[in-house]
Chains A and B, each alone.
Chain A
Amino acid sequence: MKMFGKKRVAVIGAGMTKFRRHLKETGKELAWEASKMALDQAGLELKDMQSVVMGTAPDAFDGVHMKGEYLADGAGAWHKPYSRVFVGGGTGVFVTDAGWWHVASGQFDTCLVVGEEKMSSCYPHPAYAFTTIFDPIFSRPLGVTLIWIFALEMHRYMHVHGIKKEEIALVSVKNKRNALDHPCAQLGANITVEDVLNSEVMCWPVQRLDISPTSDGAAALVLASEDVAKKLTDNPVWIDGVGWCIDSTFWTNRDLYYPKYVQCAAQMAYKMAGIKNPPKEIDVAEVYDPFDYKELHHMEGLMLARKGQAPKLTAEGITQRDGDLPINPSGGLLGVGNPIAAAGTMKCCEIFWQLRGEAGKRQVKGDPRTGLAQAWGDLMQYGSVVVMRS
């Protein structure tokens, strides 16, 4: 295949903690647990890591406004080239993109990639920290909250395509059920469409069971160059495509029905991976699902479904774990939990385990060879994508 860096990059280990509303461990301790597990899986030690990239979302959750440095020891950064990357909710997948260029550039043979979030320190509710992400002149005096803007986007998406709430609720039902098979999941459950439709109205059309929980947790990956990876494992998983893109911060100036920036990020990754027909060529995908409608919205942005058609694929069962295009076999953010940056990295871990055939009860059928993970963030404007192959 055509090379897009100096070296081909493999994932050779992955790890994660439980995701829970409150965990006793500090963010640093969580980062350490996930990093150590990923290193153990790769059969490596910290001394083998030549570089470290950390992903963690808004500082306001921890109330520590130097969070990259605060977490550095937990991410294994001692005496190493280290950086923290942050692109809002997109961070968890973007940190893998960033790890890729560390190794693909030829600068490092190995890179430890860590995503961490501890949201519970911010109380009475971490949602309050999100009110400080908005423009202080134009938006904040109105009392804008994160849930408003997602409700506005969901409603616009529903309106443009004539999509019903019950079609969207199927995503929540599927993902929470998938999460029952994930040993680290926070909210695995057997629920029905009626449960979603009868749940508390938070911000119409968003109801309680349309939303992922707030969580604490961490996840990590070990990346290695081709020559190093082949010495260490018989079944590396290759990062064959990376993509990222941002849209304007003036989010009320663009049509929210379609995430163009996700499409741009996907096109970048598909071009690299030589993917011409995404729904045919991708065997399994972890699509960013902090809300149930987002899975559908993102499937369309990723061109896994045509515009307005993702609900139909979902209703037909195609996105179930045993369907033709399994989406979020892990249980996603809706089921496993949503510690922001860690959640996106968890998606990268899940694709790694799926492509290695290690996903146990969550393993998708057939022999998946190509997988995709995607995250989304900032003010509904950022897409990050990674394409992996076994």
Chain B
Amino acid sequence: MSDKIKHFPGEQLKGSDIREGRIPVVKHRPNVKYLWSAGVAMSRFLEGLKECKIVGSTCKKCSRTMVPPRAFCEQCFKPVDGYTYVKDTGTINTFSVSYVAGDASRIKEPILVAVIDLDGASKGMGILHLLGEIDDWKQIKFGMKVKAVWKHPEERTGTITDIKYFRPLKEV
């Protein structure tokens, strides 16, 4: 803001002015739903999850084994050379402990979140997932080895949540 300007536009309201209708408001909730095709590469990934397998794709040009799999290498800009399985074990690259839900409301039991670099994929190829079987989040360490805990076969539907969470490989 310039010291040449003396008038600052904008009329402040309280949240309650809007919520309780003390000023004129219009309310609307769109009713829109989506059905996404999982696509060429991710369809293979989701099919693999039903069988407790994690699918990656490989590019010979840049020598990467990539998770999640893609149909094309975004760096070499060519089709991938094939699909492969990586392991369901890995290493914690980074983690966080969430006390907030998606709508910013607060939750008592924190959600443990991590980026896990999977064994068998190229270095630094992580996926986002949850951590479990940990009593106190202070036990979580960078570089800790973890393993996927899968849902029972009849519960698996071919979604990323077919993996319930990753648990420490050693007891904590």
Q: How many residues of A are counted as interface, with CB atoms below 8 angstroms from the partner's CB atoms?
A: 70
A254 within 8 Å of B (CB atoms): yes
Chain B contact patch, size range:
35 or more
Cα A141 to Cα B125 in complex, Å, equals: 20
Given the known A-B contacts A152-B113, A353-B2, are A205 and B96 also in contact in the complex, defined by CB atoms under 8 Å? yes
Of A17, A145, A152, the residue contacting B101 (CB under 8 A) is: A145
Binds B, one of A21-29, A78-86, A102-110, A282-290: A21-29
A120 x B18 contact (CB < 8 A)? yes
Cα A141 to Cα B36 in complex, Å, equals: 13
Interface flags, B42-58, vs A, CB<8A=1, else 0 = 10011000000000000
**Measured between C-beta atoms, what is the minimum distance from A263 to chain B in Å?**
17
Of A18, A148, A254, the residue contacting B124 (CB under 8 A) is: A254
A165 within 8 Å of B (CB atoms): no
A142 x B2 contact (CB < 8 A)? no
Cα A89 to Cα B68 in complex, Å, equals: 25
Given the known A-B contacts A30-B10, A142-B160, A252-B126, are A183 and B98 also in contact in the complex, defined by CB atoms under 8 Å? no
A358 x B2 contact (CB < 8 A)? yes
Q: Which residues of A contact B21 (CB under 8 A)?
A: none
A309 within 8 Å of B (CB atoms): no
Cα A368 to Cα B93 in complex, Å, equals: 41
Interface flags, A200-224, vs B, CB<8A=1, else 0 = 1111111000000000110000000
Q: Which residues of B contact A256 (CB under 8 A)?
A: 94, 115
Chain A residue, CB-CB nearest to B138: A204
Q: Which residues of A contact B105 (CB under 8 A)?
A: 124-125
Q: Which residues of B contact A151 (CB under 8 A)?
A: 96-98, 113
B28 x A41 contact (CB < 8 A)? no
Cα A24 to Cα B25 in complex, Å, equals: 10
A155 within 8 Å of B (CB atoms): yes
Chain A residue, CB-CB nearest to B112: A204
A139 x B128 contact (CB < 8 A)? yes
Cα A125 to Cα B19 in complex, Å, equals: 12
A33 within 8 Å of B (CB atoms): yes
**Measured between C-beta atoms, what is the minimum distance from B22 to chain A in Å?**
11
B5 x A142 contact (CB < 8 A)? no
A303 within 8 Å of B (CB atoms): no
Q: Which of B90-134 contact A (CB under 8 A)?
A: 93-105, 110-111, 113-115, 124-130
B130 x A25 contact (CB < 8 A)? no
A156 x B94 contact (CB < 8 A)? yes
Given the known A-B contacts A142-B128, A142-B129, A252-B127, are A24 and B94 also in contact in the complex, defined by CB atoms under 8 Å? no
B15 within 8 Å of A (CB atoms): yes
**Measured between C-beta atoms, what is the minimum distance from B18 to chain A in Å?**
6
A148 x B23 contact (CB < 8 A)? no
B2 x A143 contact (CB < 8 A)? no
A184 within 8 Å of B (CB atoms): yes
Q: Which residues of B contact A137 (CB under 8 A)?
A: 36, 38-39, 42, 46, 160
Q: Which residues of A contact B102 (CB under 8 A)?
A: 127-128, 131, 143, 145
Chain B residue, CB-CB nearest to A360: B3
B98 x A184 contact (CB < 8 A)? no
Q: Which of A66-102 contact B (CB under 8 A)?
A: none
Given the known A-B contacts A22-B18, A248-B74, are A159 and B98 also in contact in the complex, defined by CB atoms under 8 Å? no
**Measured between C-beta atoms, what is the minimum distance from A37 to chain B in Å?**
7
B10 x A183 contact (CB < 8 A)? no
B30 within 8 Å of A (CB atoms): yes
Q: Which residues of B contact A22 (CB under 8 A)?
A: 12-15, 17-18
Name B residues whose Cβ lies closer than 8 Å to a Cβ of A.
Answer: 1-5, 8-15, 17-19, 23, 28, 30, 34, 36, 38-39, 42, 45-46, 66-68, 70, 74, 93-105, 110-111, 113-115, 124-130, 137, 142, 159-161
7 of the cross-chain contacts (CB-CB < 8 Å) are A34-B9, A124-B103, A124-B104, A124-B105, A136-B34, A148-B113, A155-B94
Sorted nearest first, the 6 A-B pairs with minimum C-beta distance are: A18-B10, A151-B96, A360-B3, A156-B94, A125-B104, A33-B9
